[in-house]
Amino acid sequence: MATPLRDHVIAYLELNHKIVEAGAVDLLLKDRQPLILCRAVLDVIGADAPIITQEMVEEVVARQISPRPRLGAPSSSAGTSARGAAPSPREPFAVLREGFTPPPAHQDPLRAYGRLFQDRYRRLSRMLRGRPGLGTVDAIRDLGHGAKEASIIGMVCDVHVTSKQHHIVLTVEDESGSLRVLIPRDSPLAHQPILSDEVLGLALTLPKDGGQLARVEALERPDIPLTRAIGRADQPHRTLFLSDLHIGSKSFLEDEWGRLIGFLRGEGPDAGAAGGIDCAVIAGDLVDGIGIYPHQERDLAIGDIVEQYAELGRRLRELPASMPIVVVPGNHDAVSPAEPQPALAAGLAKSLPDNVRSLPNPSTFALHGVVIEAYHGRSFDDLIPALPGTSYSRPTDVMKRMLAMRHLAPIYGSRTPLAPLPRDGLVIDPAPDIFVTGHAHTFSIDRYRDVLLLNVSTWQGETEYQKMRNISAVPARAAVVDLTQPTHRSSVVTIDASGRDVQVRNGIPA
Ligand SMILES: [Fe+2]
């Protein structure tokens, strides 16, 4: 019987216009990161080969410089299971994409950034090619040979509003050159904000006169396909989603955390709602960290970073020991702040219980066949100011735009530092079934093109620093999702431990 992950692999290759032999699928599924291997196979065979054979996959595997570690045998650079332990073999858990790729030694930073943006451009343009709205895509340097219309795929270098007419002038570039294009102020396209460094498909009307700008007639983002295979568990499984524990802060909500633990242990009137929860995902800011903002030491109950992780280990041991816990770091954790962030160093992860699987931020993994994208959410700090109408109170609106861009943090040079790595680990690929973030310290749930969006609160009360930044926290909430139909409205349950008793609410809150 086909497993959900097998369906994902086949669907992913179909989206890339490939038919795949059964033996090739078997081989892909044996890899620790099947969809990453799919990507490598697609890169090697190119656009012209319609069929992926077992031999092709074998060849790509053979080309790998070093064998990939199997699940549960973590590498030093990537996700690590605390104390090196594997998740229970009964848990069909597979890492599909670790956002962090270690940098090559002695790299020139400028060239490294060049490679990063080239990788982003190539991967996102691959998603855009073949769109009916774009037709044949031309290289920018080949435009201007008498054609009236053309389509290009470009990364946005600059967005400029003209001072008198308020038209929008975009400067975009591809691998062949750059071009300035016009979006007139009366165009419907002028009302949607365009961000620096996002990758767009543009259908253009070309000017007769070389002195005029090409006009944008249509704009396509890589986006989530409207039709795709949705991952579903074939047995009942429920997953708990949490974020922003901030262990070590004086504002850690000890009573509320205690109520959550009691609920998970089956205490209280609504404890039945805890039945079947067999995995937890925590979306970063596991601890409060040290020196993250000015005078943070005044807000700390534990002023030693190693002790903060030791306390995190104690808190996570309060969760049922049988429950695997997947964690990614956030901007308060003791890893490099540049994104993608590596997983916790082994010296810190050793404080965590054996059932914790520590991954980089972001990471994509399959849980019982459901594809989950976990990202802490630091880029909300850049995207909320850049997207009018969005706010920290509804980060899911920003998450929709991330999915449309198929990128978690496109803007270079703002508050989210981007690491100069050879592979852009912030590209969202493959499309997830569940997309979870934190960072905003609020709570919102929504859906977008059959992707469930979760922004899952915090276990820290409001600090003076947050009040100064005008951030109103909505703490002590968690979400539980039924993985048998993860994108269905009725599959989500909100656990609210902010009051005297834990409240359980079904469905997506209005
Ligand atoms: Fe946080």
**When comparing pLDDT for 75 and 376, which is higher?**
376
Residues ≥6 apart with Cβ < 8 Å to 500: none
Q: Which phi and psi angles does 408 have, rounded to 5°?
A: -85, -25
Residue 82 has pLDDT above 50, yes or no: no
Cα separation, 255 vs 40, in Å, equals 48
**When comparing pLDDT for 120 and 472, which is higher?**
120
Q: What is the pLDDT of residue 197?
A: 96
| Same-domain status, 51 and 8 | yes
Cα separation, 11 vs 283, in Å, equals 27
Average pLDDT for 484-500: 93
Q: What is the pLDDT of residue 385?
A: 95
| Same-domain status, 271 and 307 | yes
Domain boundary among 40, 68, 96: 68
Pick from 264, 384, 241, 373: which is nearest to 318 by CA?
A: 264
Largest pairwise CA distance in the chain: 75
Residue 168 within any structural domain of the chain: yes
Q: How far is the CA of 222 from the centre of ligand 1 (A)?
A: 29
Q: How far is the CA of 219 from the centre of ligand 1 (A)?
A: 35
Q: How far is the CA of 375 from the centre of ligand 1 (A)?
A: 12
Residue 75 has pLDDT above 50, yes or no: no
Domain boundary among 41, 68, 95: 68
| Same-domain status, 208 and 315 | no
Q: What is the pLDDT of residues 416-434, one digit of tens each?
A: 999 988 889 999 998 999 9
Q: How far is the CA of 31 from the centre of ligand 1 (A)?
A: 34
Instruction: Give the count of domains, the chain.
Output: 3
SS3 255: helix
Place of tokens 């570039």: 173
**When comparing pLDDT for 67 and 117, which is higher?**
117
| Same-domain status, 167 and 253 | no
Tokens of residue 61, six digits: 């595997």
Q: How far is the CA of 497 from the centre of ligand 1 (A)?
A: 18
Q: What is the pLDDT of residue 63?
A: 62
Measure CA 190 to chain center. 28
Whole-Å CA distances, 184 to 209, 409, 449: 17, 27, 29
Residue 286 within any structural domain of the chain: yes
Whole-Å CA distances, 190 to 155, 184, 389: 17, 7, 15
Average pLDDT for 263-281: 89
Whole-Å CA distances, 466 to 36, 469, 470, 471, 473: 38, 5, 6, 5, 8
Q: What is the pLDDT of residues 195-244, one digit of tens each?
A: 999 999 999 999 887 778 999 999 999 999 988 888 899 899 999 999 99
Q: How far is the CA of 439 from the centre of ligand 1 (A)?
A: 4
Q: What is the pLDDT of residue 3?
A: 54
Residue 80 has pLDDT above 60, yes or no: no
Cα separation, 450 vs 42, in Å, equals 25
Q: How far is the CA of 469 from the centre of ligand 1 (A)?
A: 13
Q: How far is the CA of 244 from the centre of ligand 1 (A)?
A: 5
Q: How far is the CA of 174 from the centre of ligand 1 (A)?
A: 36
Q: How far is the CA of 508 from the centre of ligand 1 (A)?
A: 23
Q: What is the pLDDT of residues 364-410, one digit of tens each?
A: 999 998 999 999 999 999 999 999 999 999 999 999 999 999 999 99
Domain CATH for 196: 2.40.50.140
For 17, the domain range is 4-68
Residue 119 within any structural domain of the chain: no
**When comparing pLDDT for 21 and 58, which is higher?**
21
Cα separation, 19 vs 226, in Å, equals 20
Residue 311 has pLDDT above 70, yes or no: yes
Q: What is the pLDDT of residue 70?
A: 29
Q: Are 153 and 142 in contact (CB under 8 A)?
A: no
Residue 126 within any structural domain of the chain: no
Residue 468 within any structural domain of the chain: yes
SS3 244: coil
Pick from 62, 86, 61, 88: which is nearest to 74 by CA?
A: 86
Pick from 186, 215, 188, 184: which is nearest to 202 by CA?
A: 215
Neighbours of 472 (CB within 10 A): 12
Q: How far is the CA of 284 from the centre of ligand 1 (A)?
A: 7
**When comparing pLDDT for 267 and 104, which is higher?**
267
**When comparing pLDDT for 399 and 21, which is higher?**
399
Radius of gyration of the chain measured on its C-alpha atoms: 23
Residue 307 within any structural domain of the chain: yes
329 exposure class (CB count in 10 Å sphere: 0-12, 13-18, 19+): buried
Q: What is the pLDDT of residues 233-248, one digit of tens each?
A: 989 999 999 999 999 9
Q: How far is the CA of 223 from the centre of ligand 1 (A)?
A: 27
Q: How far is the CA of 90 from the centre of ligand 1 (A)?
A: 32
Q: What is the pLDDT of residue 227?
A: 83
Average pLDDT for 37-65: 75
Cα separation, 135 vs 151, in Å, equals 7
Residue 135 within any structural domain of the chain: no
Pick from 384, 351, 361, 354: which is nearest to 284 by CA?
A: 361
H/E stretch holding 480 reads strand 477-482
Q: How far is the CA of 286 from the centre of ligand 1 (A)?
A: 8
Q: What is the pLDDT of residue 64?
A: 59
Q: How far is the CA of 480 from the centre of ligand 1 (A)?
A: 20
SS3 49: coil
User: What is the DSSP track for 51-91?
Assistant: EE-HHHHHHHHHH-SSPPPPTTS--SSS-EEGGGPPPPTTS
**When comparing pLDDT for 130 and 143, which is higher?**
143
Residue 76 within any structural domain of the chain: no
Domain CATH for 365: 3.60.21.50
| Same-domain status, 188 and 283 | no
Banded pLDDT at 463 (limits 50, 70, 90): confident
Residue 321 has pLDDT above 80, yes or no: yes
Q: Are 324 and 87 in contact (CB under 8 A)?
A: yes
Cα separation, 134 vs 222, in Å, equals 12
Banded pLDDT at 67 (limits 50, 70, 90): very low
| Same-domain status, 180 and 244 | no
Cα separation, 256 vs 500, in Å, equals 9
Cα separation, 404 vs 123, in Å, equals 14
Cα separation, 128 vs 67, in Å, equals 32
| Same-domain status, 245 and 337 | yes
Q: What is the pLDDT of residue 21?
A: 84
| Same-domain status, 309 and 177 | no
Domain boundary among 44, 68, 92: 68
Q: What is the pLDDT of residue 66?
A: 33
Measure CA 210 to chain center. 42
Residue 339 has pLDDT above 70, yes or no: yes
pLDDT over 70 for what percent of the chain?
A: 92
Q: What is the pLDDT of residue 53?
A: 81
Pick from 463, 461, 493: which is nearest to 478 by CA?
A: 493
Average pLDDT for 170-181: 96
Pick from 203, 254, 197, 166: which is nearest to 407 by CA?
A: 197
> What is the overall mean pLDDT for the chain?
88
Residue 437 has pLDDT above 90, yes or no: yes
Q: What is the pLDDT of residue 111?
A: 82
β-strands 178-183, 168-173 pairing = antiparallel
| Same-domain status, 158 and 298 | no
Report long-range pairs for 422-425 (Cβ below 8 Å, ≥24 apart): 422/101, 422/103, 422/104, 422/112, 422/115, 422/116, 422/119, 423/101, 423/116, 423/119, 424/116, 424/117, 424/119, 424/120, 424/123, 425/97, 425/98, 425/99, 425/100, 425/101, 425/339, 425/340, 425/360, 425/362
Q: What is the pLDDT of residue 268?
A: 78
Single pTM value for the model: 0.85
